[in-house]
Amino acid sequence: MALLQVKGVSKSFDKEEIIRQISLELKEGEIVSLLGVSGGGKTTLFNIIAGLSEPDEGEVYLDGENITGRPGKISYMLQKDLLLPYRTIVDNVALPLMIRGKNKKEARKKASSYFNEFGLEGTERKYPAQLSGGMKQRAALLRTYLFSEKVALLDEPFSALDMLTKGAVHEWYLDVMEKIKLSTIFITHDIDEAILLSDRIYLLTGKPGTLTKEIAIKEARPRRKDFNLSEEFLAYKREIMGHLEGENSGLAIK
């Protein structure tokens, strides 16, 4: 059975339907991306999955348990790293543990034990302002992981980074994911990023947003270095772009 199931979720704001009848699932250890244009309802869907807002209809199940409208079960990472400037890196990362009631010492100890794995060694006592953008993103991901080891939602986690940093962070990300096997759904509007990082891609298109296509990327992980230059990669890209164009021209006719 799938680890996370979203069943027929719809949501409107001020009588405007944002997303309609969205169903998706996530298996253990899978990385799935949600690809679509900005303002297409991706973040609305994430807020519902995270339990921050209630859907008008539909449910969210984690391990078969209905968690609709209950925050604190699924971890969530936003586009901004949102590291608190007044806490050291280790205290930032340990925050979800402290919120769950662990005492400071224990939380710090547990958080520190992951610093090597995430390539963050030596930054424990630094403040976020002293770190580079890529390093901050690593710390934010570790915090996300400590918040829930089961499922993470990443809302455009790498979009604030520049091209070159992005490449390095992607590599690091896949590497870490191999180690921690965190089941993840991430939002992106970058087609290359979606193909490069995910096992499956859901395309969210239209207004109201619906899932119009699901594409499995059949390239085994860990992926070869030049995957993004291969024929298969281009074939996936063509398929996605073709589908998005079809959807858009459909919109234009309407």
Stretch that binds another protein, among 78-86, 164-172, 175-183, 187-195 (CB under 8 A): 78-86
- For residues 95 and 87, give the distance between their C-alpha atoms in angstroms, rounded to a whole number: 9
Closest CA to 240 of 232, 160, 221: 232
Any contact of residue 51 with another protein (CB under 8 A)? Answer: yes
Any contact of residue 9 with another protein (CB under 8 A)? Answer: no
Stretch that binds another protein, among 74-82, 162-170, 200-208, 232-240 (CB under 8 A): 74-82
Closest CA to 209 of 233, 183, 193, 189: 189
**Helix/strand/coil for 203:** strand
> Using the rule CB under 8 A, which residue among 20, 73, 108, 138 binds another protein?
73
Binding mask 150-189 for another protein (x = CB under 8 A): ----------------------------------------
Any contact of residue 50 with another protein (CB under 8 A)? Answer: yes
**Phi-psi region for residue 8, left (φ > 0), alpha (ψ -120 to 50) or beta?**
left
Find the binding residues for another protein in span 109-128 (CB under 8 A): 127
CB proximity list for 33: less than 8 A, separation 6 or greater = 185, 186, 187, 188, 193, 194, 197, 198, 200, 201, 202
- For residues 146 and 111, give the distance between their C-alpha atoms in angstroms, rounded to a whole number: 7
Find the binding residues for another protein in span 85-114 (CB under 8 A): 85-87, 95-96, 98-100
Matching residue, tokens 């901004």? 80
Number of residues that bind another protein (CB under 8 A): 25
Any contact of residue 36 with another protein (CB under 8 A)? Answer: no
Shortest distance (Å) from residue 213 CB to another protein:
28
Give the residue with the Cβ less far from another protein, 20 or 138. 138
**Phi-psi region for residue 107, left (φ > 0), alpha (ψ -120 to 50) or beta?**
alpha
Alpha carbon of 236 to those of 4, 103, 227: distances in Å? 25, 48, 11
Q: How many CA atoms lie within 13 A of 88 on its CB side?
A: 12
Any contact of residue 149 with another protein (CB under 8 A)? Answer: no
> Using the rule CB under 8 A, which residue among 21, 103, 116, 130 binds another protein?
130
Give the residue with the Cβ less far from another protein, 139 or 203. 139
Q: What residues make contact with another protein under the rule CB under 8 A?
A: 50-52, 71-76, 78, 80, 82, 84-87, 95-96, 98-100, 127, 129-130, 147
